[in-house]
Amino acid sequence: MRFTVAEQDTALADAAGEVLAKRAGPDRIRAGWPGGPRQEVDAVWRTLAGVGVLAALVPESAEGLGLDENALPPLMEVLGHSGLPVPAAETVAVGAPLLAAAGARQLPDVLSGSTTLTVSLEPVPGAPVPFAAHADLIAVANEDRLLLYRRDEVRVEPVGSVDGSRALARITAPAGVGLPLAEGADALAAARWRGVLATSALLVGLSRRMLDLTVSYVGQRHQFGVPVGSFQAVKHALADAELAVRFARPAVLAAGWAQAAGDPEAAVRTAMAKVLASDAARAVARTAIQCHGAMGYTTEYDLHLYAKRAWVLAADWGGPAEHRELIARRLGLARANDGIGEGAGL
């Protein structure tokens, strides 16, 4: 069997890639950090919306592209490679499809990029919500429901993060407000697994970006009259990092296929993708910093824009330990308990 990504699923990623290659350099990423000109990031987000990125999983009947989860891995990998600090997984994979399913009147503004939407399905009450510090619409899980709030309906308390561009904030909502977007374990589980899938693909893209930066650096940096990339220790370290990414990427593609096809093992496949992508991103970040030497430990250096994002996303939507536990339970190797895999799954 030949396993390849369909042309319709790569077309959108290619279009997004062209936009990001021109408009999403390190300066744009820094614009998303506290004190930066956030409007520059928002402008790129609106441009991406114009080529249909935000509407990828929205049905055609709701003015979307009508694609399925197979489109998420290539699209999110491109967005991850760019490092642009936007709620990609939260909006494209989770929020926009739920708005469409609920027939929410806010959907057109979200799809145009004029209204920023973020989502958190974290089961722990009061957990920080990514991008909530500046989002116009915020959807937060409340027991077995996902409620959508306008910014003026809630109290927003910014929270610090190793990746400042995450714009984390805690949300406090008064009783009796919020529009239900999804209800029940089945709906929340399906949305959560799409978020896990999208985040896994973002990590693959980030890993590729960090590898690209490092390979370029070790080819230019000379020591003892030769490029440091010619040293066996450096080559072996980068080869191991490359191998980890090459193992993770097909697992993410397989998870996308499993979700789109309604495979009974989609949850396990997605958990496996998140484990491999998280481990690969952490390994690549560590190797990249080491191969850069003293330069790599300088937080002002561009590499840290991607490494910090990788560290955060590796733990987001369930860290490797949590997803390993799910896989172990499905294999009968661990005692069942509450976690991301409980409920209906896929």
> Mean pLDDT of residues grouped by 10 in the chain (346 residues)?
74 96 94 94 97 97 96 98 97 98 97 97 89 97 92 95 95 91 93 98 98 94 82 93 97 97 96 98 97 90 96 96 94 62 38
| 186-330 has the same fold as 7-183 | no
Residue extents of the structural domains in the chain: 7-183, 186-330
Neighbours of 215 (CB within 10 A): 17
- Using one digit for the tens of pLDDT, what is the confidence trace for 152-191? 999 999 999 999 999 999 999 998 899 999 999 999 999 9
The predicted pLDDT at position 343 comes to 36
Residue 113 tokens, joined: 């990029």
CATH of domain 7-183: 1.10.540.10
Work out the burial of residue 195: count CB atoms within 10 Å of its CB; fewer than 13 is exposed, 13-18 middle, 19 or more buried. Answer: buried
- CB contact at 8 A, 249 and 323: no
Mean of pLDDT over the chain: 92
The predicted pLDDT at position 2 comes to 55
What SS3 class is residue 148? strand
| Rounded distance between C-alpha atoms, residue 122 and residue 340, angstroms | 9
CATH of domain 186-330: 1.20.140.10
The predicted pLDDT at position 345 comes to 37
Strands ordered across the beta sheet of 179-183: 117-120, 137-142, 145-150, 179-183
| Rounded distance between C-alpha atoms, residue 186 and residue 190, angstroms | 6
SS3 content of the chain, % helix, strand, coil (to 5): 60, 10, 30
Which residue reads 């990427």 in tokens? 249
The predicted pLDDT at position 249 comes to 97
What SS3 class is residue 169? strand
The predicted pLDDT at position 221 comes to 85
Please, what is the Cα angle at 326 between 144 and 140, to 5 degrees? 25
pTM of the model: 0.94
